[in-house]
């Protein structure tokens, strides 16, 4: 991560925005988790966020500005059956983000989360129509979100329009978190 951050800084002269968007899940009841499953999820979902944020924040501190946006999940806030390991990793990202928002604010760096709900992706497209309909029925807006809707929220948080927002989570889930 340190070499990646150095390469980006050398290529562009500065690093203004970091978007951490890594995620994987091994869905199963906790009692059936295999040795190493939780470590694998934490490595991808949480440790990668920590390591890249650490590497990039050093450059942002020197330039006294920056925006860090971490993708979490509605599941990190609500939990979900069969996803205890995933939920724990995504919930930890939210706590991590709140902490670094405080740590880095004095250097002009903002840190926020975007927590998508069910979004149309290759993974959701592989679900049967019946499953997608059942999911949509539980969402107040009665549909899955789009990647563009999530990207627009990330772009907003990266922009100067969000210059007074830090330590927050923007929930992009069609109202699912409220129901």
86 carries an active-site annotation? yes
Which residue reads 């944020």 in tokens?
53
In the chain the first and final C-alpha atoms are separated, in Å, by 39
Catalytic residue among 86, 89, 112, 114: 86
What positions carry a catalytic annotation?
A: 86
């Amino acid at each position: 991560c340190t070499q990646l951050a150095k390469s980006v800084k050398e290529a562009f002269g500065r690093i203004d925005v970091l978007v951490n968007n890594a995620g994987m899940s091994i869905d199963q009841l906790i009692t059936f988790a295999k040795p190493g499953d939780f470590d694998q999820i934490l490595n991808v979902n949480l440790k990668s966020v920590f390591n890249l944020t650490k590497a990039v924040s050093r450059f942002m501190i020197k330039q006294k500005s920056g925006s860090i946006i971490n993708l979490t999940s509605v599941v990190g806030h609500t939990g979900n059956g069969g996803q205890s390991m995933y939920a724990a990793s995504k919930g930890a990202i939210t706590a991590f983000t709140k902490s670094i928002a405080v740590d880095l604010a004095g250097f002009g760096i903002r840190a926020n989360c975007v927590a998508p709900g069910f979004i149309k992706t290759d993974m959701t497209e592989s679900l049967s129509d019946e499953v997608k309909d059942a999911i949509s029925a539980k969402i107040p807006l009665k549909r899955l979100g789009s990647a563009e809707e999530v990207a627009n929220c990330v772009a907003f948080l990266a922009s100067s329009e969000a210059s007074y927002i830090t330590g927050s989570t923007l929930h992009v889930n069609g109202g699912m978190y409220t129901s």
